[in-house]
Structure 1
């Protein structure tokens, strides 16, 4: 196979179980005989090497030149035919648990993973042979470098006005909306409707519910009778979410009795987009490199699997935050760290990322353990950390961001607000055991973190970057360390588990994490297969 194109060199290396630095690939492509240079590298590289670097290429080319010179002087040739590497040269993969879905046996030892078997004749038909020209990756709603908030009062007014305007526009066409100030002046008995932010929710002495809606003109109280059909929806409400209500004014016009309640919601007519070819994306989160509980074996097994024919269609890797464990995230965290320096944690994460095949497109957003501000939206990492994580030229964008892969839109959000949803809602409507159901409520509210002033820290900006303007095809979160997926109005919601074993904190709150799982999504069908590596 001709190897003049860098993409083909990357594919050939991947089929043999190796990743490579960009400069190393460039040097191979620029060699007088790229096929011979690659063959020489593969013949001479140490067995425990996983990433082909520039020094490997330079040494191989230099040795090859010496061999050619020696061959010219004694009439022999040092070159071997392409693809002559024998499978017996490859170390055993070691003991491994079979994959949940494919029965593949990825490496699962504590040592560095061994290279995958070399394909006979250098063929990549059974390995990773995707054409990068077929790919399409777009990013929207990335606020990195766009932050304007100063924490002044006007910033808070601005972000809530923007939220009400954008989400309210999705509701005003469904009701005959009137501002709060106008409703106050209407005669009793009139039918009224209002779109506003939930300012307060409380129960009355009789067991009814009083909901106070607020808009730019003021507030107005709405009463939901306990025996009406909408009473059970009150349990789902969070302060500061946008809502529409219809009802009838009391005789003195001091309150409205609710007849109907509307959420911005995902339209039931929503039809998800799909890719035009069979291509897959791996959706993971919460790697937590630097923690004593980071699952090295599971990660290396995952990386090994990505080099196998079973994963040849996995061309995208989306990581929804918490790449590292962080420093000072909670009291006495340093006692549970393997790596106590935050920059060294990212350096270690970057090395683990290099185990992933070099032709995989990677997108990452930060989480609450990462070295960015805690308040959401979180911008992507600063330049110092970006310089550390150069593997694969990964796209590092803000939390949240909308990523479109070959026409399939994926809303990536780390998921801190899921703690709040699960705490506020009844257990049958949201729980850690079924995190995707908590995600359904965020889709229903069309906002990833509606409640201000609670557990989730929110930063005021001129624009509310947490509004779900466009309905995604896939909603991807992490944070809660539990695996769960399902569909809400044809939106695929996935919480992808983690790569960290149970911590002391999780033991104290009785959370048993789902560790070492990788949900794989077929972008042409939106079907999900879960691979287990622990």
Structure 2
């Protein structure tokens, strides 16, 4: 049947505030009187429902009219029907569905994706299908920092405890105050935070390591193989150094340097069925350079049989262009008001199939606090972007999809990593290399006091306590992907052509790419088996 018929049906339902299943659309399209079938189906569902299921349509077609006495799942408990052989669903409409009056549902602005009673790493969206995305490591609703000195001490202590715990099993660690009392010539190991790095007059490297008891210097000789490793160090990251104390005991001559790192034996989890996820970021709706044509081609492709197994869409920040993010940005805005930008983004999001699970985190252009970790979008913005009932969480967050852990981070710290490390180890042309550095350090933004704003919290939400199966970032507007110790790293480019500001800082963006990850094949060693890059630019 013609492709536009299902699209018209979905448009009609969406304009009345209803989402629907793919198979339900097919049944309506095949009805002898489609208009009458739509009317009967809408009459057959409860007043508080916003999703039209295939059972609703079947009941309406079988009974001809009137309400069914069946019990109905609420929209938050109904799961998508399996994809049919008919045309896939398009979910569009002019108005978001009316919010339900759920007295027990906590406002998103105050408690985010998780309710106050939900433990970290679980979804609190009442009645959600347990197979739908679950979230861990989200700061939303848990931010406690006030900016006091004690808050900064707390976050760094937490960082040290978590990362030193990953290193202590590999070295015979001694606190710095204990090393100070050891005799010269003793073998020693220190787990510490990098407090300073400087070169000596002879070209050697001196690293000051700080732990909770004090600071101790380690010397890396320039002729040692590990001297190159020093170039990869960042201030405030946690490392372990093994070596031998000088005769006077005042310095540690380094023999080896260890990072928290991803174990080389790491094996990723995989989905137990054929299912894929599209990983994108940096849409930048509201910019004059937003590539609407590329987005439309992407959305149209999601409705084709070729995309049948793509059931998840993960957006890693910068839904909109924002306001006042960089100098003279107002001259490059197509939409000036920030809320109007989100309204326009929501309209574009409606072009995505309505039965697709969507996960969104904010970025530095979005209307949330700039300091990381960033809480999720507030209730007002969520209500604007409500058409797909997306999972909205903070930056960063670990999203578990089909048993696969995906660490989503917008990626502001990549700028700092690329600026600090040698080009062959981290560059804008190869953002996946910078991502590998963060995995090695097991921290999303190790260096404090630079361009990356860090919010002081009771715990360090930026530590990678668990190894993700996939590390997904954006921000730098460049396509890059690779594998680091079997962790798939993806920086997913953007949907915005080059702005004058980007031109001034020599950023040539990759536009309109959608990495498609086949979640059931992550254990394959050949990237072509589990990753497909689609271009719509």
Counterpart contact for 1:420–1:455, Cα < 8 Å: yes
How far apart are residue 251 of structure 1 and its match?
1.1
Alignment of 1:117-136 (within 5 A): 124-125=84-85, 127-128=87-88, 135-136=131-132
Q: Deviations over 1:335-365 (max 9, x none)?
A: 1000000000000000000000000000000
In the alignment, what sits opposite 2:462? Answer: 466
Q: Distance in 2 between matches of 1:477 and 1:259?
A: 34
How far apart are residue 382 of structure 1 and its match?
1.0
How far apart are residue 128 of structure 1 and its match?
3.9
Q: Distance in 1 between matches of 2:434 and 2:7?
A: 38
Q: Distance in 2 between matches of 1:327 and 1:381?
A: 16
Counterpart contact for 2:19–2:354, Cα < 8 Å: no
Q: Distance in 2 between matches of 1:411 and 1:250?
A: 42
User: Secondary structure of the residue that 2:416 maps to in structure 1?
Assistant: helix
In the alignment, what sits opposite 1:154? Answer: 150
Counterpart contact for 1:242–1:263, Cα < 8 Å: yes
Q: Distance in 2 between matches of 1:27 and 1:402?
A: 28
Q: Distance in 1 between matches of 2:88 and 2:341?
A: 30
Alignment of 1:55-74 (within 5 A): none
Q: Distance in 1 between matches of 2:145 and 2:129?
A: 39
Q: Does 1:189 align with 2:185?
A: yes
Alignment of 1:43-442 (within 5 A): 124-125=84-85, 127-128=87-88, 135-442=131-438
Cα separation, partners in 2 of 1:41 and 1:235, compared to 1, 3 Å: farther
User: Secondary structure of the residue that 1:248 maps to in structure 2?
Assistant: strand
How far apart are residue 511 of structure 1 and its match?
1.6
Q: Does 1:40 align with 2:41?
A: no
Cα separation, partners in 2 of 1:25 and 1:234, compared to 1, 3 Å: closer
Cα separation, partners in 2 of 1:20 and 1:144, compared to 1, 3 Å: farther
How far apart are residue 254 of structure 1 and its match?
1.0
How far apart are residue 369 of structure 1 and its match?
0.2
TM-score by length of 2: 0.79
Q: Distance in 2 between matches of 1:134 and 1:182?
A: 49
Counterpart contact for 1:271–1:490, Cα < 8 Å: yes
TM-score by length of 1: 0.79
User: Secondary structure of the residue that 1:348 maps to in structure 2?
Assistant: helix
Cα separation, partners in 2 of 1:154 and 1:133, compared to 1, 3 Å: closer
Q: Does 1:533 align with 2:536?
A: yes
Q: Deviations over 1:296-318 (max 9, x none)?
A: 10001111110111111110000
Q: Deviations over 1:91-119 (max 9, x none)?
A: xxxxxxxxxxxxxxxxxxxxxxxxxxxxx
User: Secondary structure of the residue that 1:494 maps to in structure 2?
Assistant: strand
How far apart are residue 150 of structure 1 and its match?
0.3
Q: Distance in 1 between matches of 2:474 and 2:12?
A: 27
Counterpart contact for 2:154–2:459, Cα < 8 Å: yes
How far apart are residue 24 of structure 1 and its match?
2.6
Q: Distance in 1 between matches of 2:481 and 2:219?
A: 35
Query: Bigger radius of gyration, 1 or 2?
Result: 1
In the alignment, what sits opposite 1:47? Answer: none
Counterpart contact for 2:20–2:355, Cα < 8 Å: no
Deviation >6 Å, runs of 4+: 14-17, 26-31, 41-44
Counterpart contact for 2:209–2:217, Cα < 8 Å: yes
In the alignment, what sits opposite 2:474? Answer: 478
Q: Distance in 1 between matches of 2:179 and 2:248?
A: 12
Counterpart contact for 1:15–1:128, Cα < 8 Å: no
How far apart are residue 134 of structure 1 and its match?
9.5
Q: Distance in 1 between matches of 2:188 and 2:21?
A: 72
Alignment gaps of 5+ in structure 1: 1-11, 45-53, 70-122
How far apart are residue 320 of structure 1 and its match?
0.1
In the alignment, what sits opposite 1:503? Answer: 499
Cα separation, partners in 2 of 1:444 and 1:289, compared to 1, 3 Å: same
How far apart are residue 185 of structure 1 and its match?
1.2
CA RMSD of aligned residues (A): 3.0
Q: Distance in 2 between matches of 1:496 and 1:215?
A: 37
Q: Deviations over 1:132-184 (max 9, x none)?
A: 97943211111111100000011011000100101110000111101111111
Counterpart contact for 1:286–1:478, Cα < 8 Å: yes
